[in-house]
Structure 1
Amino acid sequence: MTLGSGGSSVVVPRNFRLLEELERGEKGIGDGTVSYGMDDGDDIYMRSWTGTIIGPHNSVHEGRIYQLKLFCDKDYPEKPPSVRFHSRINMTCVSHETGVVEPKKFGILANWQREYTMEDILTQLKKEMAAPHNRKLVQPPEGTYF
């Protein structure tokens, strides 16, 4: 996020940015089907996060709750976080062996911009679940994990 006018801009430091994201994640997002927060409140570097997505209606994911892990390295938000499903899921952009969301196969990670947030990633993953190429894929039994 940059602030300023007349050609000048101020880059918001990493930890301030992550504090803003934490506050937003704790307040709840939109319709409540996407949420996120820190794994460890004592982690002063704010690296490890947990996300939750409730599967979209009219898809094979409907009513399922998916847990994800997001890891924001020291280069975040200049570089995207690594994203991995903890819950087993069958999607074209997710490794079947590890649950890792493969950046080259997932647009927001492949074309990362500093302005993007973890909320944007989770919202896009939810949309991807409902995409025609994913919406009918056979899913692993609910409650299984990587």
Structure 2
Amino acid sequence: MSRVPRSFRLLEELEKGEKGMGPESCSYGLADSDDITMTNWNGTILGPPHSNHENRIYSVAIECGEEYPDQPPQIKFVSKINLPCVDQITGEVKKNQFHTLREWKRSYTMETLLLDLRKEMALPTNKKLPQPTEGSNF
């Protein structure tokens, strides 16, 4: 089986993200449309219902390095959030504490990552955690 090059893979993800073909609970796109390396992305996650995240929109910054999709992207919350897998000073999602990053597979996408973070918010141990004031950023 042949491996899809990084740029083709990112173009596929960009097209899907721009056309809104993914779930309504998350979205993503290039941070700068002139970024020919397709490295820096913005994402949003709608807080899951029946949780302290309900009716909140969380912004994240995603960096797809040269080794993506073989290696996971770096992801950092721009919006303040209280989750065990998120560094409370920098907003970075900690690779060793978030299963999707720790167990990264080439088949995963930015959409996978965003949806799994949303699932993390909805876990019984996380859904009632007190959250920072809405609208605050790291």
Normalising by structure 2, we get a TM-score of 0.98
Which amino acid counterpart does residue 41 of structure 2 have in structure 1?
W
Which amino acid counterpart does residue 25 of structure 1 have in structure 2?
G
Asked if 1:122 is matched to 2:99, the reply is no
Q: CA RMSD in A?
A: 0.6
SS at match of 2:11: helix
* Unpaired runs of at least 5, structure 1: 1-8
Q: How many residues align?
A: 137
Normalising by structure 1, we get a TM-score of 0.92
Q: Residues 120-140 of structure 1: CA distance to partner in whole angstroms, max 9, x if unpaired?
A: 000000000000111010000
What is the distance in 1 between the residues matched to 2:86 and 2:126? 11
What is the distance in 2 between the residues matched to 1:90 and 1:69? 17
The corresponding residue for 1:106 is 98
SS at match of 2:15: helix
* Unpaired runs of at least 5, structure 2: none
Give % identity: 53
Asked if 1:23 is matched to 2:32, the reply is no
The corresponding residue for 2:28 is 36
What is the distance in 1 between the residues matched to 2:88 and 2:69? 27
Name which one, 1 or 2, has greater alpha-carbon Rg: 1
Which amino acid counterpart does residue 81 of structure 2 have in structure 1?
I
Pairwise CA distance, 1:27: 1.8
What is the distance in 2 between the residues matched to 1:70 and 1:17? 15
SS at match of 2:27: strand
The corresponding residue for 1:81 is 73
Q: Which runs of 4+ in 1 moved over 2 A?
A: none
